[in-house]
Structure 1
Amino acid sequence: MNHLATLVRVELTEAAKEYKYVWLTVFFVLLGLTQPLINLYMDIILQQLGGSIGVILDPNKLDPTPSEIFLSTISGQFDQIGLIILLISFMGLIATDRQNGMQDFILTRPVSIHCYVYAKLIAHWFISMFSIGFGILTSYICTVYLFGSFSITKLILFSVLYSIWILYLTSLVIVISVYVKHQVLIAVSAIGISFFLLLIKNVDLAFSDLLPSSILNVAEHQLVATYDVSYLSIVSCLVLIFFNLLWASKKLKN
């Protein structure tokens, strides 16, 4: 446990030296502000862009609820450009240690491979959620101020479930990193797999329960109850995280 705490502290310190807490947090805060403002001024934007063609706005359309506007921030910003930047920030997670010899140095000390892998997971998950948490809070405050309030309890439940998805993405990058040496290829592979999982999570609801990305359906259900969801996807996501870590540890041991 002491070794784990030490390795986590080292990872967090390195992130601080790289100002990762600062630029990632600023980035997600800006994303959190963007979507509520777009929703607020969407009608004006469409009218201005209409030109001679013209844009007809349905006067009978229903205004989105505050929770729907908040979810559009997550699905439209965090799960697209936010996910890309986050995974790019992960690409040196293990590759950097391999290149500078730090991995060999650590693993030749009385530190277990599992401890090394878990430290990577915990530290980078914490860094991610630190930044994303500020983005979520910013989006919530902006949405409540501009459109009205929704339950803070539902927001917390959503954030907890969303954090499990981030935990899975971190474990995914760890697995890819033990097989792929080049950082750019690590980032491209992780982004490709992540977007593929997001794309197919609603194709077949029975099959999608086995996908880690389906936990996002459960998270969204906490805010907008549009259809029945299976909480089995939470278990599936946690099991896949465990197997990713086991897989990475076994590869490093070999």
Structure 2
Amino acid sequence: MMQWVVLYRKEITEMIRNYKILWIPLVFILLGVMQPISSYYMPEILDNFGGLPEGAVIEMPLPTGAEVLMGVLSNYGMLGVLILVLSAMGTVSAERQNGVAGMVMSKPVPYSSYILSKWAGLVSITLLSLFLGYIASWYYTNLLIESVAAEQIFQSFGIYSLWLIFVVTLTLFFSTVMKGSGSVAFMTILVVAVISTVTSIMQNKLKWSPATLTGHTGHLLQSGELQSSFLPTFLLTVALIIVVLILTIQIFKHKEILE
């Protein structure tokens, strides 16, 4: 356990040194506050830059608070996921290439401790970034649009967090399997895109897919209630994360033994 704590501290220290602990949350905060601000000022923006005839009046109904927050999560589902994948793509592959992984594993360190410390570091920066960005978007939504209950915010945060944890777990897996950071990012984004696309096309047959977590989040924000299929989706996603982590550990162990 102490070895895992030391390795986890190493991950956090590296994030501080390369400023990931700063710029990733800032990007999420920026993405979070853009949605409510742009929604509120959209008529003025169109009036000033839309090239409309003089005297034209733009009347746009304000979106609901739930719709604004769903837009925020949509931004996180695209740009947020891209940022997380690009920041995590070299988690294992880069250390194997520059010899850091070999130096660490030359000591009596369990393979599981090495991989799980990496995973915990990725999860920590993911949850921190999502929380700060989502809370900032909630603040501006309450200020400019309408009030949204805190209970819905924290519940939707928890649901959407699981989806992002699934994404960074896949990134860690491909970072262990592949050598090039670029190929890691490409494969992770490709797999996430395929899962999301296939799930949206075959919603009835894949209603327990991890990609439906975004839909569960939106339903919760709009209705304040969870769908009946949420629990199976939650359990399946957690099971997949565990399975992927076990595979990651075994693949890393196999590669290290061969090398």
- What TM-score results when the alignment is normalised by the length of structure 2? 0.88
Which residue pairs with 2:68 in the alignment?
69
1:135 to 112, 116, 133: 133
C-alpha contact 2:28 2:76 (8 A) present in aligned 1: yes
Q: Name the CA distance, whole Å, in 2 between partners of 1:67 and 1:84.
A: 24
Which residue pairs with 1:239 in the alignment?
239
C-alpha contact 1:217 1:229 (8 A) present in aligned 2: no
Q: Deviations over 1:64-109 (max 9, x none)?
A: 211211111111x211112111110011111121012121222232
C-alpha contact 1:91 1:186 (8 A) present in aligned 2: yes
Q: Deviations over 1:10-34 (max 9, x none)?
A: 1011100111111111111111111
2:144 corresponds to which letter in structure 1?
A: L
Deviates further, 207-216 or 4-13:
207-216
Secondary structure of the residue aligned to 1:148 is: coil
Which residue pairs with 1:44 in the alignment?
44
TM-aligned CA distance change 1:52 to 1:70, over 3 Å:
closer
Deviation at 1:118, TM superposition (A): 1.0
1:33 corresponds to which letter in structure 2?
A: V
Which residue pairs with 1:145 in the alignment?
143
C-alpha contact 1:221 1:229 (8 A) present in aligned 2: no
Deviation at 1:162, TM superposition (A): 1.4
1:101 aligns with 2:111: no
Q: Deviations over 1:33-68 (max 9, x none)?
A: 1111111122333444553699x9996x76421121
TM-aligned CA distance change 1:114 to 1:51, over 3 Å:
same
Which residue pairs with 1:34 in the alignment?
34
Count of equivalent residues = 251
1:2 corresponds to which letter in structure 2?
A: M
1:198 to 196, 199, 203: 196
2:157 to 151, 159, 162: 159
Deviation at 1:191, TM superposition (A): 1.7
2:24 corresponds to which letter in structure 1?
A: L
Secondary structure of the residue aligned to 2:63 is: coil
Secondary structure of the residue aligned to 2:200 is: coil
Q: Name the CA distance, whole Å, in 2 between partners of 1:34 and 1:219.
A: 20
Secondary structure of the residue aligned to 1:223 is: helix
Q: Name the CA distance, whole Å, in 2 between partners of 1:66 and 1:219.
A: 14
C-alpha contact 2:89 2:185 (8 A) present in aligned 1: yes
1:145 corresponds to which letter in structure 2?
A: L
Q: Name the CA distance, whole Å, in 1 between partners of 2:18 and 2:72.
A: 27
Q: Compute the RMSD of aligned alpha carbons.
A: 2.3
Deviation at 1:211, TM superposition (A): 2.0
C-alpha contact 1:143 1:149 (8 A) present in aligned 2: yes
Which residue pairs with 2:257 in the alignment?
none
Deviates further, 206-215 or 4-13:
206-215
Which residue pairs with 1:253 in the alignment?
253
Q: Name the CA distance, whole Å, in 1 between partners of 2:42 and 2:203.
A: 32
Q: Name the CA distance, whole Å, in 1 between partners of 2:162 and 2:70.
A: 17
Q: Name the CA distance, whole Å, in 1 between partners of 2:157 and 2:57.
A: 34
- What TM-score results when the alignment is normalised by the length of structure 1? 0.90
Residue identity (%): 25
Which residue pairs with 1:181 in the alignment?
179
1:192 corresponds to which letter in structure 2?
A: L
1:134 corresponds to which letter in structure 2?
A: L
C-alpha contact 1:218 1:229 (8 A) present in aligned 2: no
Secondary structure of the residue aligned to 1:150 is: coil
Q: Name the CA distance, whole Å, in 1 between partners of 2:164 and 2:80.
A: 11
Secondary structure of the residue aligned to 2:221 is: coil
Deviation at 1:223, TM superposition (A): 0.8
Q: Name the CA distance, whole Å, in 1 between partners of 2:13 and 2:151.
A: 32
Gaps of 5+ in 1: none
Q: Name the CA distance, whole Å, in 2 between partners of 1:128 and 1:93.
A: 14
Counting only pairs closer than 5 Å after superposition, residues 12-31 of structure 1 correspond to structure 2 as 12-31=12-31
C-alpha contact 1:121 1:167 (8 A) present in aligned 2: no
TM-aligned CA distance change 1:45 to 1:62, over 3 Å:
closer
Secondary structure of the residue aligned to 2:153 is: helix
Deviation at 1:160, TM superposition (A): 1.0
Deviation at 1:3, TM superposition (A): 1.4
